[in-house]
Amino acid sequence: MDLILPNGGTPAGTSSPASSSSLLNRLQLDDDIDGETRDLFVIVDDPKKHVCTMETYITYRITTKSTRVEFDLPEYSVRRRYQDFDWLRSKLEESQPTHLIPPLPEKFVVKGVVDRFSEEFVETRRKALDKFLKRITDHPVLSFNEHFNVFLTAKDLNAYKKQGIALLTRMGESVKHVTGGYKLRTRPLEFAAIGDYLDTFALKLGTIDRIAQRIIKEEIEYLVELREYGPVYSTWSALEGELAEPLEGVSACIGNCSTALEELTDDMTEDFLPVLREYILYSDSMKSVLKKRDQVQAEYEAKLEAVALRKEDRPKVPADVEKCQDRMECFNADLKADMERWQNNKRQDFRQLLMGMADKNIQYYEKCLMAWESIIPLLQEKQEAK
């Protein structure tokens, strides 16, 4: 049974954030990165398995370093499990309804197909959770959210959850009470264009994801065949005289190709697919915010129409209608700003992803070429000897 660590946050000096702390110390706060001042850094690392009577789960160490006045200490180290990240995202959605909340990696996996406690799965999830927090950290509004501060610093997050403290903003409360009873007549062109783009984008990525998974499955099956194929040449060489060395060379060549293919498949599984899935979930999150914006606009239009129907020469616009208009304008501004930020991130992420994919494929084919070229001298020597 693994040692269960306390789910508590402590100053860095009294905990053991060795690897993450040393990494953070190499980062300079207030550096000018992409024209922005960085005053908050967060790293997710050191996954640990906990075995209890009722359940088995993984926790991750989260190390935070900041110069912001909202933090009492310059550095924190806490341990959190997946459901804590899920709680944070839920609270951000409640309290910041006009903003795009980054997606979490999917929680559920098919039992018997993926071992959620395997080293590979845990590392893939760690990377996704680290990216989730970095997305929030880089956001000019979400990074100042009080729930986010508590998540990064609270010694006992469970106690905080049980208190049920309602830290919703006025916007959060107002949007929460908007029902689906209002029907939007026409979505503004710029937001209609966003909706159409997200539908097409998610469809394209979904198709790429399905095909990529099929390719990986076929590569794994091919890898199994190669591993059976290569040794046959080696056992055959024992029966031959002059052909022995060339046959051993072919066997070694196939073995090298197998190793190269395994590396390529691992890279696709660990680096390529997670990015596709993150952005598929991202498009769903954006659609959700877009739908909330539509609801606020529909409410505003309905209330404005009710005022216009009043039998008055110059009906005065009630305060609740003005507030509704303010909410709609806030939604519009925040959604457009987040969409622009998301597009910038997407361009950077996919450039990096595609560049990496090209590089990995080039490396794979170069290794295979080098392996096959290595046996040509063996064959030529036998021919010259004749």
The string of pLDDT tens digits covering residues 266-310 is 999 989 999 999 999 999 999 999 999 999 998 888 888 887 777
* Whether pLDDT at 130 is above 90: yes
Question: What is the longest distance spanned by two Cα atoms in the chain?
Answer: 110
Is-contact 59 2, C-beta < 8 A? no
Alpha-helical regions (H) of 165-188: 170-176
Domains, the chain, ordered by start:
38-160 (3.30.1520.10), 184-385 (1.20.1270.60)
Q: Which residue has the tokens 């952005």?
A: 279
- Using DSSP, state whether 3 is helix, strand or coil: coil
Give the β-pairing of 40-51 and 32-33. Answer: unpaired
Q: Do residues 57 and 122 lie in contact, with contact meaning Cβ atoms separated by under 8 Å?
A: no
Q: From the centroid of its chain, how far is CA 293?
A: 24
Q: Where are the alpha helices (DSSP H) in the chain?
A: 18-25, 82-95, 119-137, 146-153, 157-163, 170-176, 189-237, 244-267, 273-308, 319-385
257 SS3 class = helix
Mean pLDDT for 127-147 is 95
Q: Which is nearest to 152 in space by CA: 19, 42, 243?
A: 42
Summarised one tens digit per residue, pLDDT across range 28-51 is: 444 444 545 688 999 999 999 998
% of the chain beyond a pLDDT of 90: 59
**Phi-psi category of residue 35: left, alpha or beta, with phi > 0 → left and psi -120 to 50 → alpha:** left
Collect all residues with Cβ–Cβ distance below 8 Å to 105 and sequence separation of at least 6. 124, 125, 128, 129, 132, 274, 277, 278
**Tokens at 122, concatenated:** 């845990």
For residue 19, which of 63, 60, 58, 50 has the smallest C-alpha distance? 63
Owner of token pair 């909706």: 195
Axis-axis angle for helices 146-153, 82-95 (nearest 10) = 160
Residues 11-26: tens digit of each pLDDT: 444 443 434 444 444 4
- pLDDT above 90: residue 106: no
Distance (Å, whole) CA 362 – CA 323: 58
Distances from the Cα of 152 to the Cα of 29, 51, 95, angstroms:
17, 24, 17
Using one digit for the tens of pLDDT, what is the confidence trace for 172-188?
454 444 445 567 778 88
Which residues are CB-neighbours of 66 under 8 A, at least 6 positions away?
Answer: 29, 39, 40, 41, 74, 75
Q: For residues 140-159, give the mean pLDDT.
A: 93
Three-state DSSP class for residue 362? helix
Distance CA 265, CA 126 (A): 20
CB atoms within 10 A of CB 5: 14
Return d(Cα 360, Cα 290) in angstroms, integer. Answer: 37
Are 206 and 280 in contact by the 8 Å Cβ rule? The answer is: yes
Mean pLDDT over each residue of the chain, to the nearest integer? 83
- Residue 219 identity: E
**Chain Cα centroid distance, residue 221:** 28
Residues with Cβ within 8 Å of 340's Cβ and at least 6 positions away in sequence, in order, are none
pTM above 0.95, yes or no: no
Half-sphere CA count of 206, side-chain side, radius 13 A: 11
